[in-house]
């Protein structure tokens, strides 16, 4: 039951220096929500990204340490967005969980969507947020409706129209969503898994 959806956060590498065990080639974090979909989902992501941009601009610690806390930083932005305007029907997301190892170790056994569905309990779609090494963001929506076998990347307008016809206020939110660069989800996730998988294999062989 419910429109189960997730935000998938693709984090950039964290490099502390040679042989530092806290360094990594990137992480994938997933936050689950049981009821958010349609324009409410777009509203939350737009406002979370606004808050994230301010956090980055006000960061005084350097990007390495900012990225080391990226999961917590984006979690706080999501919480802010979920409480930003109570005229929207919002529900709290579960905190971001690190799913990197699961996805990397499953690489090559099934297609990506099957792996992602297995670890997220999803019947409505994924909102991808990719943060690069400069802290800049790309986003995308990968969506199928109510367990539909057809799951494809959609624009914000296409996604919202699956549930309702956008009114003028909705169109403003969609325009704001579109101001953030769009990502090719399949390409970016495949590249991420290949990079991180090589790092896992290198560490195992050391």
90-145 pLDDT tens trace:
677 788 888 888 877 776 665 666 666 666 666 677 899 999 989 999 999 987 66
* pLDDT score at 189: 85
Q: Which region among 26-30, 153-157, 202-206 has the lowest average model confidence (pLDDT)?
A: 202-206
Q: Does residue 8 carry a pLDDT above 60?
A: yes
For the record, the structure tokens of 6 come out as: 């997730």
Helices vs strands, H then E, count in the chain: 8, 7
Q: Give 159-173 pLDDT, tens digit per residue.
A: 999 888 999 999 999
Question: What per-residue confidence (pLDDT) applies to 6?
Answer: 85
Mean pLDDT of the chain: 83
Burial (0-12, 13-18, 19+ Cβ within 10 Å), 116: buried
pLDDT attached to residue 113:
64
Residue 200 above 60 pLDDT?
yes
Query: Tokens 């992501």 appear where?
Result: 45
């Amino acid at each position: 039951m419910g429109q189960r959806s997730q935000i998938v956060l693709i984090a950039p590498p964290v490099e502390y220096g040679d042989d530092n065990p806290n360094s990594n080639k990137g992480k994938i974090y997933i936050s689950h929500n049981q009821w958010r979909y349609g324009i409410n989902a777009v509203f939350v992501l737009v406002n979370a990204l606004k808050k994230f941009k301010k956090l980055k601009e006000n960061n005084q610690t350097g990007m390495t340490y900012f990225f080391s806390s990226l999961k917590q930083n984006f979690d706080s932005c999501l919480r802010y967005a979920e409480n930003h305007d109570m005229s929207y029907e919002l529900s709290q997301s579960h905190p971001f969980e690190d799913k990197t190892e699961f996805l990397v170790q499953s690489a090559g056994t099934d297609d990506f969507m099957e792996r992602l569905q297995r670890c997220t309990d999803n019947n409505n779609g994924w909102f991808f947020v990719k943060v690069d090494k400069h802290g800049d963001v790309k986003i995308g929506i990968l969506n199928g409706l109510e367990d539909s076998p057809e799951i494809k990347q959609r624009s914000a307008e296409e996604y919202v129209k699956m549930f309702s016809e956008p009114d003028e206020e909705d169109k403003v939110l969609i325009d704001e969503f579109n101001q953030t660069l769009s990502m090719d989800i399949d390409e970016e996730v495949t590249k991420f898994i290949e990079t991180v998988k090589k790092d896992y294999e290198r560490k195992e062989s050391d």
